[in-house]
Structure 1
């Protein structure tokens, strides 16, 4: 029920920079499990209401007024990012079929340009030399996103799929930000766009081997990809339903094996999955299940050819020898009888297997140990018979903190493997490994203009102790001489503490050009790998979800206290940052320990979590029940979520300055969450610290599109962080 309160129904204004707009209060009652919650700002959900738009615009005006003094700094930081970035650049060409494929960026243009050139010598696997300023011989522009984006405030490319014969391009675009893509087809020989146009797709596309059919997905009313369709090129829009998943907990994906021999449909919830395969040379046939779904069992499938026979490699967390393989194991099965599975690589607790990739000559195992990614390779040419675990040799890395993974290996028959490598202080590298000799060839290092020297920075790992004794890994990067160094002259430094901690997502060390603008001004950057993420294996995730979710929040608070206790920083010099589910973390931390931070940056924050997860009509809600629990049907989950959900727990206390950012067209975390949260914070906070909302009126979950616009957004955030950490006065 709703009941307007006229006495509080003030019109939103921004008459003074010091006074935020006042949102009216409309009494809305929400009752579940005998508990009634009064929500006074639920009316902000209707974005077709002119008063809602007026409130968002007034909040934008308030935010702009309160950050106007940072305008020059924003311009300076934007200039720094721009000056360090090689604006006209080219990726290393990747081989696929008869062409080298690559992307270009050009100075002054917002978006990339996708290109290819023909392979002249089919026996030569060395890519053509990168040329930044001139096209490669025979260069063909497949798609210029700058042209596609003309006339639109927002642009996002969903799929860019080339048929196996190289003749056709299937691509999809989103010009609103709601992640509903329009799929189109282009004849690359003639440049002709076919009249076949398919709207409201999920973004991906997969070709059949004969290049006559494209498989794509559509979403249901709750934005869940639920149906796979087959489109016959040039046959109009009377497409065939190939697969439909009626269970609202399951999300459907579509693709093919690296060998291109099999098409694959994967349907999965957060805790259960099932894979269906079809021979790629039989695109109108029936997909068959590799293994029936079993509640709580996740698995993925890769095709491998070993000793002349076809096998499926199945990465799974099923029960083996009476124990659940929480950190996953790998089985192997003949393609013609997937049920005849035997163990290939056994389960090792603490070593989280993430994937196995099969090539003609290699098997590549990707896994995680000690909060870092690892890669091992088995060379099939050296193995007589079936490989065993001891045949996998780990790729060595010298740095203490690093990122490492397969990158850009498009061909199953590649004689060499490409890897992406990076760290907090080393720009990203793409190198090629000759597995037989161990020789590494650097193909490209991320260019950083202006004389960047990695020796001027350092990265390290420390461990904070949670209240329950759990050791929380902290990744730290700083300019040398800043912060704690053991000397008597060292002093607390401005510090940004970043966290996420959901969906088993791992945040690995990576280089950032924009971060240099912060580090060079004396700010220490710390990444807290809190529970709920995946850095420390499946148990790390399991102990930060559903009825253990509060560990995510207390881990972050304990990390902040550790940094203060060790002298790294002080509350007056520390800012917290997180986005999306990390925004939920920010909202919870703001309620738990507002005294620890001088500022909190929450991007597209999931702060009205309980209300959203109670509503199965909203995008993603039902599938999210495995992550958060089902408060709609379970009273215990309801009570637990209500005890931490940021919006419900805003109280009259002194909050630090808060900057919340959202997008009007976001379908993952609706703008309503940030808007309601900020309205309530502004009404109840007892401090004078400004609490601000910045809404992008033409964007989606990822924020603005276009690299220059994104740099402007990053400059806005960094300027505010520098102000709140006190770095501007250091």
Structure 2
């Protein structure tokens, strides 16, 4: 008989703005305390014992998921310089192998990096970045073996197959080459894991600091223009961007500011031959200051010599109903990714044929993704495509013939697309707003009666959970489960305003929207409360924690992966990684109005003596984004306060970070674990399984 874990309580009080908060589990943040590790192990053991009846089913479910995947697979090759580059996977190997062929695609293969060899001595392994020098002679790559998102950079001589003596530890993992083949760029993080410096380093080991960002709300990064002529260094917060640029042929030359920083002005820069193009949210040409009028972005242009804000001229005006989410510039055409009424689409502006048109897609509800387009002078644009029923595909669009050619669709063994249907519904919210939700299920389920339903959402940072294909999800669908992705405010499904109406002092809209979706699905017999399971991770875990406090009776069970649930305490602690930058998402609780609002929804601070849904919570001991103690404290608080006998499990990965296990098999194991929990909660496990 497993013993219910019970964390000890040590009196501790927080006092802010005249409010005293009791926090008896505050001590769980003492990572090196043996009692903390012992408690986490007790929770793990309890979870293992209580869910031991699922071990055989989890194993079978893992095998079922794996059987859908073609383990020996190869990506679509792309040409860079004299080589064709691609990656491939092999059966029973967890990681990819990166390869190339000289001259033609039929030439002998050269494996330039076998990640399986790098990872074999580590329980955790993540390849952060991979970059081949312009002369194709040297490979730059970064790895994290702890899960703390701190990467070590290595240089590999591709001719000699030998590592350089240059080794840079504790970087962000971001890497890139200049065009002189001698200098590469990387970034470092401060003690709070905020990327704040960009460095240049020669292959011989000499370092130069290019840029340092001292404002703790900002993080830095860099990228090379598709033209290969410029390197852009950016410093961004949730509200404001600023760019610098330099020549990619001489990165140690002086750094030039593109346009001075203004609070609220967000802009992104692309090089388009004789001009720069600037996607931005600034619409006030007269005063030269930012406004909120171009929330969905517009595009300006400027000369290469005069880049400050006052020299920008309008190229593509703002539209209230269309969000411009990205812009790519090539020598003879531009590609804009736009989102209208929740749906992405590619707009192609062809400067040779003087055309401005959209690429027609084969379905009405789908998602788009970037492809490998390393050549500035190309007339073919490569992109990714998929939907809830269409496996991920790679297409080439020819600008001259206007034809779209399928290069590859990810093989899914045994999958028959015609057996499934997907669609989007718009659901009335508490204040009259219509909330999008994407739905997929088998066509042969009985829609006249409520069915098991899995409802997922994220709803923060403006991230949009587009309707992607998942072969693992078939293990739900083929058991008659309806799968729904809610798109509440806080994401950007309906544009920038949709995001801004779900952050700061409007954050509760995210939770209200999710509840509205759940209630709609129940009222319209998609499901019932005793068949509804909800899920979210990280900031989506905050969503799960909030809604089960607000409306626990709506849900049969919930899965919260690495949930951000101790909102106020975390946002008050500037020593925790990433905290200060998060103030532009949630607000700064040092300000009284934000404090009270955040306190009113923080899941840990609002646990009530009520019955909760059955709950599975996961954490990562080395997670730098959501510290392990947040889910641990939350579970301890729930055990102390909640009523009823519903299941409550905490599973902490003792060697993983925010993203869980690594490698494709580790990912499938995590997926099978959560899916088995859900299928068991629905009572769908039979002797045949």
Correspondence for 2:674 among 698, 714, 717: 717
Instruction: Output the CA distance in 1 between the equivalents of 2:10 and 2:342.
Output: 47
Instruction: Output the CA distance in 2 between the equivalents of 1:232 and 1:684.
Output: 58
Matched, 1:583 2:541: yes
Q: Which residue of 2 aligns with 1:508?
A: 466
Q: Which residue of 2 aligns with 1:298?
A: 266
State the SS of the aligned residue for 1:27. Answer: coil
How far residue 220 of structure 1 moved from its aligned partner, in angstroms, is 0.3
State the SS of the aligned residue for 1:695. Answer: strand
Instruction: Output the CA distance in 1 between the equivalents of 2:217 and 2:384.
Output: 34
Correspondence for 2:14 among 22, 30, 42: 30
How far residue 392 of structure 1 moved from its aligned partner, in angstroms, is 2.3
Correspondence for 1:118 among 102, 106, 109: 102
Matched, 1:250 2:221: no
State the SS of the aligned residue for 1:648. Answer: helix
1:404-429 per-residue CA deviation (whole Å, 9 max, x = no partner) reads: 24411121122311121111011111
State the SS of the aligned residue for 1:295. Answer: coil
Matched, 1:423 2:387: yes
Instruction: Output the CA distance in 1 between the equivalents of 2:445 and 2:28.
Output: 44
How far residue 137 of structure 1 moved from its aligned partner, in angstroms, is 2.3
Instruction: Output the CA distance in 2 between the equivalents of 1:656 and 1:680.
Output: 15
Correspondence for 2:350 among 379, 402, 406: 379
Instruction: Output the CA distance in 2 between the equivalents of 1:687 and 1:151.
Output: 45
Question: Given that residues 405 and 419 in structure 1 are in contact (C-alpha distance below 8 angstroms), is that contact kept between their aligned partners in structure 2?
Answer: yes
Q: Which residue of 2 aligns with 1:353?
A: 324
1:443-476 per-residue CA deviation (whole Å, 9 max, x = no partner) reads: 10110112x1101000011111111111001110
Q: 1:189 to 1:70 in 2, by over 3 A?
A: same
Correspondence for 1:363 among 334, 337, 345: 334
How far residue 296 of structure 1 moved from its aligned partner, in angstroms, is 0.5
Matched, 1:497 2:466: no
Instruction: Output the CA distance in 2 between the equivalents of 1:538 and 1:55.
Output: 43
Q: Which residue of 2 aligns with 1:165?
A: 135
Q: Which residue of 1 aligns with 2:301?
A: 332
Question: Within 5 A, what are the aligned runs for 1:127-276?
Answer: 128=105, 137-234=107-204, 236=205, 238-276=206-244
Task: Please report the TM-score for the alignment, with normalisation by the length of structure 1.
Answer: 0.92
Instruction: Output the CA distance in 1 between the equivalents of 2:614 and 2:563.
Output: 16
Q: Which residue of 1 aligns with 2:529?
A: 571
Matched, 1:467 2:451: no
How far residue 141 of structure 1 moved from its aligned partner, in angstroms, is 1.2
Question: Given that residues 298 and 316 in structure 1 are in contact (C-alpha distance below 8 angstroms), is that contact kept between their aligned partners in structure 2?
Answer: yes
Instruction: Output the CA distance in 1 between the equivalents of 2:299 and 2:664.
Output: 40
1:164-215 per-residue CA deviation (whole Å, 9 max, x = no partner) reads: 1111111110001000000111111111211111000000111111111111
Q: Which residue of 1 aligns with 2:413?
A: 449
How far residue 258 of structure 1 moved from its aligned partner, in angstroms, is 1.0
Q: Which residue of 2 aligns with 1:7?
A: none
Task: Please report the TM-score for the alignment, with normalisation by the length of structure 2.
Answer: 0.97
Correspondence for 2:614 among 643, 654, 657: 657
Q: Which residue of 1 aligns with 2:445?
A: 482
Question: Given that residues 494 and 727 in structure 1 are in contact (C-alpha distance below 8 angstroms), is that contact kept between their aligned partners in structure 2?
Answer: no
Instruction: Output the CA distance in 2 between the equivalents of 1:438 and 1:77.
Output: 43
Correspondence for 1:686 among 634, 643, 647: 643
Matched, 1:20 2:20: no
How far residue 398 of structure 1 moved from its aligned partner, in angstroms, is 3.1
1:542-590 per-residue CA deviation (whole Å, 9 max, x = no partner) reads: 1000000000001101110010001110010000000000000010011
Structure 2: runs of 5 or more not aligned: 286-290
Instruction: Output the CA distance in 1 between the equivalents of 2:465 and 2:171.
Output: 29
How far residue 71 of structure 1 moved from its aligned partner, in angstroms, is 1.6
Matched, 1:317 2:281: yes
Matched, 1:341 2:312: yes
Question: Given that residues 379 and 400 in structure 2 are in contact (C-alpha distance below 8 angstroms), is that contact kept between their aligned partners in structure 1?
Answer: no
Q: How many residues align?
A: 680
Q: 1:188 to 1:587 in 2, by over 3 A?
A: same
How far residue 323 of structure 1 moved from its aligned partner, in angstroms, is 6.4
How far residue 138 of structure 1 moved from its aligned partner, in angstroms, is 2.6
Q: 1:549 to 1:483 in 2, by over 3 A?
A: farther
Q: CA RMSD in A?
A: 1.3
> Once structures 1 and 2 are overlaid, which stretch shifts more, 560-569 or 186-195?
186-195
Question: Given that residues 357 and 363 in structure 1 are in contact (C-alpha distance below 8 angstroms), is that contact kept between their aligned partners in structure 2?
Answer: yes
Question: Given that residues 180 and 250 in structure 2 are in contact (C-alpha distance below 8 angstroms), is that contact kept between their aligned partners in structure 1?
Answer: no
How far residue 482 of structure 1 moved from its aligned partner, in angstroms, is 2.0
Q: Which residue of 1 aligns with 2:288?
A: none
Structure 1: runs of 5 or more not aligned: 1-15, 121-127, 129-135, 384-390, 485-489
Question: Given that residues 586 and 600 in structure 1 are in contact (C-alpha distance below 8 angstroms), is that contact kept between their aligned partners in structure 2?
Answer: yes
How far residue 159 of structure 1 moved from its aligned partner, in angstroms, is 1.0
Q: Which residue of 2 aligns with 1:648?
A: 605
